[in-house]
A = this chain, B = another copy of it.
Amino acid sequence: MAINRTEIEVRYQETDQMGVVYHANYLVWFEIGRTKYIEQLGFTYKEMEKAGLLLPVIDAHISYKKPARYGEHICIETTLNSYDGIRITYDYTIKNEKDEHLVQGTTKHAFVHRDSFRPTQLRKVNNYWHTMLTKANEEL
């Protein structure tokens, strides 16, 4: 799997008084994208949290080309950029239904223990998940 494509509709709540989508909401959309990417690999964030793992964002970059607007159907394209066992980086492209590139971004995450927020190796918690991500990473 090279890419996950997930479609959403802009929510009225996501707009601001500029008449466009508020800039912080693209981070929410990125999160939807990586959630779906993971699901496509065969597991879920909910299961990871149950297993005592969190996957906080440690770095984010967003480049805004053109604002999304209410009424638009949005496509979130998510790809894995890298995975090394303890860190994972995703790339995102946000497009509208005319296939215009609205926003591009990257988020970097570290696997940490839920209680301590200390880094952990994914394979120590669940080797299947580690294998799936390693495979996806090798296919890049």
Is B67 within 8 A of A58, CB to CB? no
Set of chain B residues within 8 Å of A127, measured between Cβ atoms: none
| A-B residue pairs, 9 tightest by C-beta | A46-B71, A24-B27, A15-B17, A23-B57, A24-B24, A13-B28, A60-B62, A17-B19, A61-B61
Copies in the complex: 4
In which size bucket is the chain A interface? 35 or more
Is A59 within 8 A of B54, CB to CB? no
Set of chain B residues within 8 Å of A46, measured between Cβ atoms: 70-71
Those of A29-69 within 8 Å (CB) of chain B: 31-32, 35, 44-46, 49, 54, 56-64, 67
**Additional A-B contacts beyond A49-B70, A59-B63, A61-B61 (16; CB < 8 A):** A13-B16, A17-B19, A17-B49, A18-B56, A23-B57, A23-B60, A24-B24, A24-B27, A24-B28, A44-B71, A46-B71, A58-B64, A59-B64, A60-B62, A60-B64, A61-B62
Q: How far is the CA of A46 from the CA of B56 in the complex (A)?
A: 22
Set of chain B residues within 8 Å of A15, measured between Cβ atoms: 16-17
